[in-house]
Amino acid sequence: MDDMRLVERTVEQLQSKIEAKGVQVYYGEKHALKDVDVAILDRTVTAFIGPSGCGKSTFLRCLNRMNDTVASARVMGSIRIDGEDIYDARVDPVQLRAKVGMVFQKPNPFPKSIYENVAYGPKIHGLAANKAELDSIVEASLRKAALWNEVKDRLDATGTGLSGGQQQRLCIARAIATSPEVLLMDEPCSALDPIATAQVEELIDELRSQFSVVIVTHSMQQAARVSQKTAFFHLGSLVEYGETGQIFTNPKDPRTEAYITGRIG
């Protein structure tokens, strides 16, 4: 019977990549995230869903210490990636962010050439010994981001001149150029049209073979389409975390049901 199960459900057997325990976040007086425990699996797409202000983006930003850049933010609890506490004093946040890449809501390519956008990360992290190596990283990243064929003849053109969907795929190429192990995506498709969205979703599914992908999305259909695990956040708490199919057909918590069926929660 086991081999008859859908591929999507076999994720349960994968190991966890990120383990968060008792994570609390305060922005000044505001208690934005309350006691979140979650284990995010390796080579799996995990979707964070929930209404605005529920804490999902806050939690996502904890995973690569983006909250360090917010003066009023305090993060408590433990977050381990491969068993290593990322808030340990010895961890360099810049190195951490090479390992945990991030893609934002609005495509934000640097005002430089397509080539430079992708080459920037490997350059500053010293991942390429020479120009030939750098070229191959750029090509491989653009291929993984399903953008290579569209831009290979104009790598010197400016990144900001691309269409919105292409810009977002360029940002994904940039994020994966440093060979991260985790890719965080904060509403990566909210500024894209349906075709570009489908292309990015296809890309996310392909990236899953190499990375652990965590995506925050307001589109429940997107969460249902791309993820294998879904976490529902509400009022700063993680309400329910489970296999995506289970969350969308038979959620255990009435608050999850109220949210995903579009009722007043």
CB of 227 vs other proteins, minimal distance in Å: 14
Helix or strand (DSSP H, E) at 255: helix 254-260
Greatest alpha-carbon pair distance for the chain in Å reads 57
Of 140 and 258, which has the nearer Cβ to other proteins? 258
Q: Is 263 in the site for other proteins (CB under 8 A)?
A: yes
Least distance from other proteins to the Cβ atom of residue 242, Å: 12
Q: Which is nearer to other proteins, 165 or 251 (CB)?
A: 251
CB of 246 to other proteins, least distance (A): 9
Question: How do beta strands 45-49 and 212-216 pair?
Answer: parallel
CB 100 within 8 A of CB 91: no
Q: Contact between 257 and other proteins (CB under 8 A)?
A: yes
**Residue choice 40, 134, 172, 260 for contact with other proteins (CB under 8 A):** 260
23, 39 contact by CB (below 8 A): no
| 115-124 contacts, C-beta under 8 A, 24 or more apart | 115/155, 115/156, 116/159, 117/159, 117/170, 117/171, 117/173, 117/174, 118/142, 118/170, 118/173, 118/174, 118/177, 119/177, 120/174, 120/177, 121/174, 121/175, 121/177, 121/178, 122/177, 122/178
Q: At its nearest, how many Å lie between other proteins and the CB of residue 247?
A: 8
Name the one range near other proteins by CB under 8 A: 12-20, 65-73, 152-160, 217-225.
Answer: 217-225
| For other proteins, the closer CB: 43 or 225 | 225
| Rounded CA separation 7/154 (Å) | 38
Taking CB under 8 A as the rule, which mask of x and - marks residues 127-156 in contact with other proteins? ------------------------------
219-238 binders of other proteins (CB under 8 A): 220-221, 224
Q: How far is the CB of 231 from other proteins (least distance, A)?
A: 16
- Interacting residue ranges for other proteins, rule: CB under 8 A: 220-221, 224, 248-251, 256-258, 260-264
